[in-house]
Amino acid sequence: MDMTTDTRPIPPGSRVLEFTRDSFYNSTLIDHKSGEEVYSIESASGMPVKGMRITLLAIDDGRREEVTRVVKGAFLKSDKIAFRGGEPMKVKDWMKGKSFSDPRQLSKDMKVRRPTILVHHPLLTRTLISYIIAILSFAMLTIAFICSALLAAASPPPARDGVQRIALTRRQPELQNTSATAVLDWTSQQMNSTITKYETAFDAYSQNAGQPHPFAASDGSLNTAKRAVGTEVLQNDDGAIWIGGITIGTPGQSFTVGFDTASADVRVVNAACTSSDCLCHRSYDASASSTSVNRNLKFRESGSEAITGNVYADLVTVPATATLTATQNVGVLDSYPLSFGAYTTSVDGNLGMAFQSISAYNKLSFPQSLVAQRVITSPVFAFRLTTENGEVTLGGTDSAAYTGAITYVPVTNKSFWQINIDSIQANGRTTVVSRVPAIIDTASALIMGDWANVVRLYATIPGSKMISYGRYTVPCNSIPTITLTIGGTVFPINPALFNQGPVSEGSDQCVGGIVAIPRATTSSGSPGQPYWSIGDIFLQNVYSVFDLGQNRVGFATLAQ
């Protein structure tokens, strides 16, 4: 971002985006005279205040320019908030500790309608306007404090032993005290989002490898499974995903992305996208990066969303404030995927950490690029994920994050981080689930398993019952301890993590964190290979290690 004073005017009629670190307002320049610029704000979480320092991104006939302003005053025209932009300033002064919310978070209460004609409202007094400004300013400052705390939590810890450690933030709603349907709706959303992602990866694998993935179904039964569990999408839902900051390009363009071990691509939205979803998130402008190279490669993710985009090669730095940089092929999307919305409204994209074979455009994942370009000497990355915080380590492991030995098992298919699980038990009872393949997925909240095995597992839990398609409840006063045996080592799941909350307000039945998906079939009608997906409720109990050099996954006990 340009840190110098800017005196360039913005052409009248330009579309203008006001943006801070976390806030976008879609605005239109409606007046330009006497050195002042007046903008109408289409969607905002608060009114601009005199003295507020802002940065504007003007878009005029496809041309994009950044200018900076200090607000000289604010007023209302009809039902439209407008403000006067005054003298220019340095961007760095604005960036000190200022941030505001995504306007969609407060859209129900504060969204402003778009009038055909803007007319001055004669009944609004200076006192009323001051009162409105005070209320909205307080709301913005409150949100600014929260956003600043989240941004601070994502700052990287200092490197030790030549290994880069990246702090992650976990986004998930508190489900234990929610409405009667919120828990079930949320688990439906998580199942749908995960299945959609796998569906896209299966299609990519088929194109890249020239054969179907062993878990894939080519007759659409996976889509059937997704429809069967419901299609509820919760607005402003902080989906369970681990997020952190990266930059792309030169100078670096900042993004908040999900770190995902069950996908392979770095994906962000194209700055040319003008939909409301795109405008409310950071987007990638290839023309603003001196290191961007257009690969002239278009791609289409052939899952249910049919997302399209173009591939650019550019420098990707993780985390955003460190120096761990590699040249990476980036999927620049033409639209904002629904699957991103399942994470959180603050997610701008995702950083896939699996293998090239499930890349939508058949390119190395970011960890593979780090290894290939010798940015890291050890081809290993690892996750420490806890209820309070998380950390991903690139280039090795963090010996302070775990105790005892690491139990390793081989990757069975270089697509996902795919392993075999010896067995799954409840309360140490008779083993009914044994030798099942599984995908290790840091972007999935739940554990998902094939229908038959999940039914058998819950049958060993007293008081359990299926309440809806693939989901079960267990008595809240006797949450079971689920154990996974991997490589001969038993790893228990904390019952508090298995418990997703009461099925309804005041109920004594709680939703279990293991859900069933239908067994896929091939186009010939023969059964496909059943598999499991191991997500957050297990990964928060262990230190997990992903070894690209020896194609293996390891788990160890978390240090207290």
Active site residues: 260, 441
339, containing H or E segment: helix 338-341
In order, the DSSP letters of 288-326 are G-TT-EEEEEEEEE-STT-EEEEEEEEEEESSTTS--EE
Asked if 299 and 331 count as a contact pair (C-beta separation under 8 A), the reply is yes
537, containing H or E segment: helix 536-539
Distance CA 198, CA 54 (A): 41
In order, the DSSP letters of 448-509 are EEEHHHHHHHHHTSTT-EEEETTEEEEEGGG---EEEEETTEEEEPPHHHHEEEESSTT-SE
The length of the chain is 560
Give the pairing of strands 390-394 and 447-450.
Answer: unpaired
Closest to 351 measured CA to CA, from 224, 276, 246: 246
Distance CA 513, CA 503 (A): 12
Q: CB neighbours of 62 closer than 8 A, spacing ≥ 6?
A: none
Q: How far apart are the first and last CA of the chain?
A: 41
Distance CA 70, CA 48 (A): 10
3-state secondary structure at position 217: coil
The residue written with tokens 């050195």 in the block is: 35
Angle at 226 between CA 223 and CA 229, to 5 degrees: 150
In order, the DSSP letters of 93-117 are HHTSS-----GGGGHHHHPPP--SS
